[in-house]
Amino acid sequence: MSVRTQGSAPEERVADLPDPAELVARRAGGRGAVDVRTLTRVLFERLAELPPDAPERSRVRSALIEINIPLVRYAATRFRSRSEPMEDIVQVGTIGLINAIDRFDPHRGVQFPTYALPTILGEIKRYFRDNVRTMHVPRRLQELWVQVSGAMEELTVTHGRAPKVPEIAANLRIPEEDVRACLDAGRAYNAASLEAAQEHEGGLALLDRLGYEDSALTDVEHRDMVRHLLVQLPERERRIIMLRFFANLTQSQISTELGMSQMHVSRLLSRILTRLRTGNSWEE
């Protein structure tokens, strides 16, 4: 007997339908027009009629899981940009599907896919939050990321574009700084190797594109200290230092430049360098 949709006759009872496994096989093999929503509704009705200890409950439950696996795969495609294998994500989503089946009440008038999808997505997000990250992210930001990602999807549908940080913050009524921190945390699932080649960078590794360490950085503090001491020297002594160590003149050339004997230049240089080495201010 084929399953009819909204126009089913009142006398058609769930118990008169084929075995659940036969319905699933018919759906998979394309034999007979069996709508997934209708089949799901029928199976839930049969499940509700069975006593808790009935052996058939397990077969009906398994049939519900199998025919709704496409819903799990649909939810899993939202996470295809992650580095996790798709089959692993589907497996985690199936746990959410099973939980939704066990908790679903068909008498509330809600379609099962509408009820199950948030449960499946929540299970997958929880998996990424608790098990996949290679970088430690505070739990507060992990939980906030779920809200931010949901707000982003909602605002994208509303505005027809990706939302901006102020819009997300206004929607959730949280500071913009929290949204930015959350967006950074939401991307922190895997640590990239510095030595791994980047295809979009012409095969260069991240390490090849990092700045190098300037060997002169170690001398910055020394240069600053020397500059501080030089400004304390009298004009003549400061000029001698500048000519000797910055202009690279010899003592003979300095004596000619300043009009004094080379011996005097040598004595002054000795005294100046002694003061500079000890870090004391100049005193005549």
Give 10-residue mean pLDDT values along the chain (284 residues): 37 44 50 69 88 87 92 90 82 93 87 90 82 66 79 84 91 91 71 60 64 72 78 86 88 89 90 77 44
Give residue 202's pLDDT: 60
Give residue 282's pLDDT: 44
Give residue 209's pLDDT: 66
Give residue 186's pLDDT: 66
The single-letter code of the amino acid at 223 is R
Give residue 164's pLDDT: 92
Q: Report the run of H or E that residue 90 belongs to, with start and end.
A: helix 86-103
Angstrom distances, CA of residue 25 to CA of 6, 20, 22, 55, 68: 22, 9, 5, 20, 13
Which residues are CB-contacts of 229 (< 8 A; sequence separation ≥ 6)? Answer: 275, 276, 279, 281
Local structure of 82: helix, strand or coil:
coil
The candidate with the shortest Cα–Cα distance to 44, out of 58, 24, 27, 64, is 64
